[in-house]
Structure 1
Amino acid sequence: MADPDRQHQLRGRLATASLGGTSYPQWEYEVTAGGRVRYLVDRTNRTVHLVYASPRHPRDTDR
């Protein structure tokens, strides 16, 4: 990864998200100044689930 400072686990109510009844840590990668990609990390199955991608900054982190 070119810039590891652009990637972080979300905090607060966004720190985890549920998929198929299982809760996973939710991470975000800052693609551009506003663009974001969010994904859930399933360490057990060594899988990443893409859950959000947008060219704009998500408003749910503004709260």
Structure 2
Amino acid sequence: MSPKRGDDVPPPPIGSEWRLRFATNDAAKGWGDLCTEAPGNTRRCYEALRADPASMKDPDRQHRLRGRLGTATLGGTEYPQWEYEVTASGRVRYLVDQPRRTVHLVYASTRHPKDADS
């Protein structure tokens, strides 16, 4: 998604931080909705993904998905898929591209995804 007039300016990663990118337009829109609804929690999500997108420190908040959702394909490459619980129902799903130190946000919404495993 190309930046346009009126968009926020994201800070570039520095040091050991990971790059965050929107993989879909819906994820970009959903991220904006999360920022409006829960700015503090969304900022904590942003910082967690920048620092360590595959962290196991808080599995109730941030975890790798299992089963059919455990991986997803982007641009012909399969990546491990993770989820971050921003609010009780708000979620961010992302793919971890280890070689490029890039996190691809594939889903962001104030609503829980409908395809979630029980």
Provide the TM-score with structure 1 as the length reference.
Answer: 0.90
Alignment coverage as a number of residue pairs: 62
Work out the CA distance in 2 between the residues paired with 1:13 and 1:24: 12
Larger radius of gyration, structure 1 or 2?
Answer: 2
User: Is the strand fraction higher in 1 or 2?
Assistant: 1
Match of 1:53 in 2: 108
Shift of 1:54: 0.6
Q: Which has the higher contact order (CA 8 A, sep 6+)?
A: 2
Match of 2:68 in 1: 13
Q: Which runs of 4+ in 1 moved over 3 A?
A: none
53-62 or 36-45, which deviates more: 53-62
Identity %, equivalent residues:
76
Work out the CA distance in 2 between the residues paired with 1:10 and 1:35: 16
- Matching of residue 33 in structure 1 with residue 70 in structure 2: no
Shift of 1:62: 4.4
**Unaligned ranges ≥5, structure 1:** none
Provide the TM-score with structure 2 as the length reference.
Answer: 0.49
2:112 aligns to what SS in structure 1? coil
Work out the CA distance in 2 between the residues paired with 1:31 and 1:55: 8
Match of 2:36 in 1: none
Work out the CA distance in 1 between the residues paired with 2:78 and 2:89: 26
User: Is the helix fraction higher in 1 or 2?
Assistant: 2
Shift of 1:18: 0.2
Shift of 1:53: 0.3
